[in-house]
Structure 1
Amino acid sequence: MTVAQRIDLYPTRVSGKAVTRPRVDPTVWGDGPGPLTGAELERYDADGFHVFDSLLPPQEVETYRAELRRLSQDPALLASDRVVLEPDSARLRSVFEVEKVSTVFADLLNSPRLMDVARQVLSSDVYVHQSRVNYKPGFGGAQFDWHSDFETWHAEDGMPRPRAFSVSIALSENYEFNGPLMVMPGTHKTFVPSVGETPDDFHKESLRVHRITVGSPGEEHLTRMADQHGIRQIAGPAGSAVMFDSNLLHGSNGNITPFARSNIFIVYNSVENLLEEPFAAPRPRPQHLGNREFPRGM
């Protein structure tokens, strides 16, 4: 019996020269009602991101900040694989799969104010593909290199199509000078492959190092796309948030100021876009990086 070969619409981790290709999938997958207005959906479709100026009220922000402190002092959690440390110190950088270690954050991730937006944009039921809290401490919080999340999720997690988006909620002030999120508006319409094979257990390196080559676009592509699309810096107060398409190029500078920049990061994926075998990696990343338990885990 002949086994049908699956079609890879977004080949990456290639040898030789990386050639960009137009995205073949929509950004907004339907036109049903929901929290976002028609004008907001049009802008999200064009730019690949949408900013919520005040998603959380101040008292709720304080609740989540207290939960951040609790997690950062939990010895069992700090010794687990869910934790990533800063590259040049033992300070906390990220905690993954927070819905499994915090009922406080689990309630936020599954709240209608976020899930309803995800269902509207992705035009299906949804689940959390990945979640984490990022601490980005002052005096040394490292940068996040330019990248498309979908390139990683496709290559290493087996996400077939970019029918997913992220929400980053600020739990502290995002100043222009403490390493806020930067995006290239409109770049979600182009898929930029990465060059090079995925090393075994690459996530152990890529989540912590200052600079990565595999999984990041080449400098010539970044230069051309920045010239074409520009760069937008997303600053805002605690309680603000930004949602952005899974294929949008984004990154952030390091934080050399005294002011920490903590946030909670949530990825919503369509239930019609479940993970398969990785498209360009020896094996899937661990569960805490890419949820493969749906629907059992939800």
Structure 2
Amino acid sequence: MDTGIEDRYPTRVTGTATPLDRTEPTVWGTEGDGPADAATLAAHEAKGFHVVDGLLSPGEVQTYWQELVRLSGDESLRADERVITEKTSGEVRSVFEVHRISELISELVRDPRVLDRARQILGSEVYIHQSRVNYMPGFTGAGFYWHSDFETWHAEDGMPGPRSVSCSIALTDNYPFNGGLMIMPGSQRTFVPCVGETPEDYYRSSLQDQQIGVPSRHDITTMAAEHGIDQFTGAAGSALWFDSNIMHGSGNNITPFPRSNIFLVFNSVENALVEPFAASKPRPTFIAGRDFTPVTR
């Protein structure tokens, strides 16, 4: 689709996809712009992510956990398009646009511990591109295949560049064995295009099982050989901040221990969405927000 602006990251191509070097920085702000110190920002610039231990207190974790339980058990939400269920078990997998459904999570988006760090990393005012809660129940929780979020957000939502950052706040303990997020440090510096045309209304199936918009096994192998693989583990209440273009994924959870989190995506107001670069129309706004009003306290 013609967006009227240059496509710096062409994807959903035919034939062979050639990885591209990223031109933008990963961190746009400085130490004086927010709560992260210079060492943390330098690590985030180099690796594409950092962890904040104890972002939420144990009491807050319990409060938000009860909110997740309430949302997943709300029968009135079951028919809502914003609720995604597991393909096989029918259990709730994700609830999207959760900051508009839950007053508690709306307040969390504006919490200085969260908002100020997002502004600092992106060096500007920010708005919510996407919010959701993810449930990975014990025994049946399905993982997410290797991918870059930015590839999808660029192709299907019209995000011009990777000037966005995600914050995943753990509400359960993340062990190495219960489907914890795997991440390739430094991979955010390379954009990996994907092969294949975006199907019509692809979001309806991709949110359960993504087939288009995933890198080739060759590219994953090459990236893993160059960058290695880290895993996000930590106690409930810890937060993983990671760049939109970093390569990441998670395995299935066959343990009895659930893995649930609050997932918030902040985009710079200077990186507002245009028309999709590789889809016939934008995804619904509950998946990719098109209200670019800056988040304020």
TM-score range (shorter-chain normalised) is over 0.9
Cα distance in 2 between the residues matched to 1:55 and 1:297: 19
Secondary structure, aligned partner of 1:262: strand
Are the aligned partners of 1:129 and 1:268 in contact in 2 as well (CA < 8 Å)? yes
Aligned to 1:35: 35
Are the aligned partners of 1:278 and 1:284 in contact in 2 as well (CA < 8 Å)? yes
Shift of residue 109, structure 1, vs aligned partner: 1.3
Cα distance in 2 between the residues matched to 1:132 and 1:4: 27
Aligned to 2:141: 141
Shift of residue 54, structure 1, vs aligned partner: 1.0
Cα distance in 1 between the residues matched to 2:30 and 2:293: 25
Q: Deviations over 1:226-254 (max 9, x none)?
A: 01110001111100110000000000000
Aligned to 1:291: 289
Runs of 4 or more off by more than 6 Å in structure 1?
A: none
Aligned to 1:240: 238
User: TM-score of the superposition, structure 1-length normalised?
Assistant: 0.96
Shift of residue 297, structure 1, vs aligned partner: 9.1
Q: Does 1:125 align with 2:125?
A: yes
Specify whether residues 46 and 297 from structure 1 end up closer, same or farther in structure 2 by C-alpha distance, changes over 3 A only.
closer
The count of aligned residue pairs is: 294
1:278 is matched with which residue: 273, 276, 282?
A: 276
Read off the aligned partner of 1:51 and give its amino acid letter.
V
Cα distance in 2 between the residues matched to 1:213 and 1:205: 9
Cα distance in 1 between the residues matched to 2:141 and 2:190: 30
Are the aligned partners of 2:17 and 2:194 in contact in 1 as well (CA < 8 Å)? yes
Runs (5+) with no aligned partner, structure 1:
none
Read off the aligned partner of 2:17 and give its amino acid letter.
A
Cα distance in 1 between the residues matched to 2:211 and 2:93: 20
Cα distance in 2 between the residues matched to 1:4 and 1:68: 38
Aligned to 1:205: 205
Runs (5+) with no aligned partner, structure 2:
none
Read off the aligned partner of 1:28 and give its amino acid letter.
V
Are the aligned partners of 1:143 and 1:253 in contact in 2 as well (CA < 8 Å)? yes
Read off the aligned partner of 1:289 and give its amino acid letter.
I
Shift of residue 5, structure 1, vs aligned partner: 4.3
Are the aligned partners of 1:96 and 1:133 in contact in 2 as well (CA < 8 Å)? yes
Cα distance in 2 between the residues matched to 1:202 and 1:15: 18
Aligned to 1:105: 105
Cα distance in 1 between the residues matched to 2:292 and 2:268: 11
Are the aligned partners of 2:3 and 2:277 in contact in 1 as well (CA < 8 Å)? no
Q: Deviations over 1:78-121 (max 9, x none)?
A: 21000111111110100000011100111001211111011111
Read off the aligned partner of 1:14 and give its amino acid letter.
V
Aligned to 2:11: 12
Aligned to 1:172: 172
Shift of residue 296, structure 1, vs aligned partner: 9.0
Cα distance in 2 between the residues matched to 1:115 and 1:297: 8
Secondary structure, aligned partner of 1:272: helix
Task: Please give the residue correspondences for 1:242-281 in structure 2 after superposition, counting only pairs within 5 Å.
Answer: 242-281=240-279
Shift of residue 213, structure 1, vs aligned partner: 3.2
Shift of residue 9, structure 1, vs aligned partner: 0.5
Read off the aligned partner of 2:97 and give its amino acid letter.
E
Cα distance in 1 between the residues matched to 2:294 and 2:109: 17
Aligned to 1:23: 22
Read off the aligned partner of 1:40 and give its amino acid letter.
T
Cα distance in 1 between the residues matched to 2:294 and 2:47: 34
Read off the aligned partner of 2:265 and give its amino acid letter.
V
Shift of residue 32, structure 1, vs aligned partner: 5.2
Task: Please give the residue correspondences for 1:1-80 in structure 2 after superposition, counting only pairs within 5 Å.
Answer: 5-31=4-30, 33=32, 34-80=34-80
Q: Deviations over 1:147-189 (max 9, x none)?
A: 0000000000000010001000000111110000100000000
Secondary structure, aligned partner of 1:135: strand
| % same residue | 56
CA-atom RMSD in angstroms: 1.4
Cα distance in 2 between the residues matched to 1:206 and 1:263: 20
User: TM-score of the superposition, structure 2-length normalised?
Assistant: 0.96
